[in-house]
Amino acid sequence: MRHDEYCGNAAERLPVLGFSPGGLAVGGNFGDSNYNSLQMTVRKRFSHGLQLQAAYTYDRCINNVEGATLAGAGLGGDVDYDIGLQNLRAGRGECGFDRPQRFIVNYLYNLPSFRNGEGFAGKALSGWGVTGVTTIQAGLPIQFTDSRGGAVYGSVGNSGAQMCPGENKGDILSHGSVVSRLNNYFNPSAFCAPPIVGVVNGMGGATGYGNVGSDILLGPGQFNWDIGMVKNTKVGGIHEDANLEFRAELFNGFNHPQWSNPSANVANPATFGVITSESVGPRIMQLALKYSF
């Protein structure tokens, strides 16, 4: 029997209805992660017009595969960090979503009244209060990639970057304030092209994965103030105890720039190490007036 005759009715002989005769491929994502933290909270209950709470977290979140999806011919998708799938030990690093240190203070303070709120001056200078949430936190991990890598595996995309000989992670960051480094947050000379490890389509130049681990450095941190001011005044009217409340709320009250992570694809020198956006928007102010009776 010829080969074509033997395969002619392959579709009719499939043991599982609905699958094609090309075969059955099964893939999965496998990895490991762990999280440990020290958490402390200090709280002052409301008294003498003041309520205050401060919370601090120091943690380590470690994983060895991040954002992986099915990869390979015919399976679709890609892998956020190929070195993690090929070498779970090399892919081990900080969780991409984690901020290892975080300090948050929320507060409410009602200022003392003036002359018991009597008279024009008493009404004008009494009933004031301030509220707010202050957030100080470390930056998000940076994942260095090189879109030129991984060609020999057929998964060119986001493979790990390649550190040059003699360089280490202490050589990656440039020096100075974040503002002075918006266009050169990294030192590009710390990285080299991915290694050549094989042949593709009979030609040389097939690249492997780089040697840089996953999420080895943190990006710019955050220092944000959300502040609210309130003024309550008894105005009477419909009811003798009717109250007029005025609120002014400021998000990023001091209009402090807080930057997102820079681009970290070594293969794009025009954008590598360039910060193009902020993680928190510029100051937003909203006003509100409420009459309660």
The ranges assigned to domains in the chain are 32-292
Quick: pLDDT tens for 198-210: 665 555 567 888 8
Q: Which residue has the higher pLDDT, 93 or 2?
A: 93
| CA atoms of 271 and 68, how far apart (whole Å) | 24
- Residue 182's pLDDT is 94
Query: Which residue is it, tokens 């997102």?
Result: 260
- Among the residue ranges 4-8, 23-27, 49-53, 77-81, the one predicted with the least confidence is 77-81
DSSP string, 2-33: -HHHHHTTTGGG-SSTT--TT----------E
CA 261, CA 276: separation in Å to the nearest integer?
9
pLDDT at 189: 94
Query: Percentage of the chain with pLDDT > 70?
Result: 76
Indicate the residue type of 148: R
Q: Hey, how many other C-beta atoms are within 10 angstroms of the C-beta on 236?
A: 11
pLDDT of residue 69: 45
Mean pLDDT of 90-102: 86
pLDDT at 247: 94
Query: Residue 54 pLDDT more than 70?
Result: yes
Q: How far apart are CA 116 and CA 120, in angstroms?
A: 11
pLDDT at res. 254: 95
Between 78 and 247, whose confidence is greater? 247
Cα→Cα distances 201→146, 153, 193, Å: 21, 12, 21
For residue 259, the SS3 value is strand
Percentage with pLDDT > 90 across the chain: 49
- Taking residue 161's Cβ as centre, other Cβ atoms within 10 Å add up to 30
Residue 97 has pLDDT above 50, yes or no: yes
- What is d(CA 113, CA 40) in angstroms, rounded to the nearest whole number? 34
- Average pLDDT rounded to a whole number, residues 3-32: 60
Identity of the amino acid at 274: V
CA proximity to 100, closest of 47, 150, 140? 140
Mean pLDDT over each residue of the chain, to the nearest integer: 82
Fill in the amino acid letter for 44.
Answer: K
Tell me: pLDDT of 284 over 80.
yes
Enumerate the β-bridge partners of residue 142: 217
> Residue 23 pLDDT > 60, yes or no?
no
pLDDT band at 5 (very low <50, low <70, confident <90, very high): very low
pLDDT number for residue 235: 79
Report the amino acid identity of residue 125: L
Pick from 9-18, 158-167, 274-283 the range whose average pLDDT is largest. Answer: 274-283
